[in-house]
Chain A
């Protein structure tokens, strides 16, 4: 009885609570379904995210390896000159997709131009190799960004939904059921008391008439 809500034990409150309980139970069911749906989506992409991350670590490792070779062999001014004006442009077409009420980004990778805009005579071939690796890795990176960010957003939503489900399931609904029981008990008690009083009165009257 410790968790019951603070209400007056009246018939009106009882009716109001019954409606509220029904709504809460429906909400609970819906939220539970939402949580399961989110979880399903989350599980589908999280493994993908892990694989992509490992792939990128490998790819970029190679790219940086070539790049370090290039920068070690060249003078800083040559490096700066070679990379000063990029001719390649990349952009992302960003859209959002609605997954169970969560907006997750969807990127479309677009590129134009070529990165080969520097003096081939003064730069080492390591640069070509490094830039090519970077250029290829970028696509994977964007993919990873999309998936990992979606996973992050979904995770936040899952946590929120789970909290709500638990609050309804373990606190709100039991409290309400307890209160309903309390009010019903109290009303029954009142009714019994009334009947007893009536019986007593009837008894007294009967005794008086018999005299």
Chain B
């Protein structure tokens, strides 16, 4: 059982960036108005931000990191470790973290690499970086977590198109001998790998000429083989089955009660799913912040983005006990019990529209 802990590590700064371009799901004319309203109310996503073709996840992460460097007076030379958690990397190779290291003036004596996880990525990222820092040989890490999921959804697929938004975040983790231990429960289940997947473009199914051709997958759903496939019911079943027990096991292991925590930050999957999980854990609504309504499902960025957007004042002014829980693509899921101690947390940054007036979905699908 992957219940693990790290010591001597604390979060000192957190920032999040979203693209300026906003898409309102009320404009999604592929489905009739009545059904559109039911969809928006059920998934909880009304507006979301889209990066278009000119802004990458790494651009937004970089902007968030540079804001932290300036607010915290961090010199890039202090950074020992850069990890970029993302499923939308700049290039097939090399790792985007290494490209970013150079762009941000972080010294070549640092480690830099990518972790291609999605919904669970922030929790895993904290564990990976925390484990590398806790011995004190590396002192300061930059954890960049972000995705551009709208790039891989088909406008003609209502099972994915209305769900996702784009965002990039940055977290500073530091070695700190006085920090409280951080506890994780991390899990994976490859039996469900197909439930959320992009079938072609990797080495298992090499890109071919017809990979870009839109095909009717089932009535009302058209996409190509580079676009995201999501089995709604299977993912729903998985999340209802696994997330609450994962958190309960973690709490039992560290002898805590659900009420010992100030906030529960869940991956922003969809409202129906998150609310069902909240009720299973008997959590009061005020303990469970949401950003689904304004930013949609922002993949690995959803937990840090929700922290910045919804509990920024508390993070800056108070000491908090938090549960963060990410779950989805992989299948991969995990929770962490972490205490924060007055961290630097500037408000959500907007990445200016770079003159890309036509969001990418119109180019590829219409």
Q: Do A and B come from one complex?
A: no
Interface positions of A (Cβ within 8 A of B): none
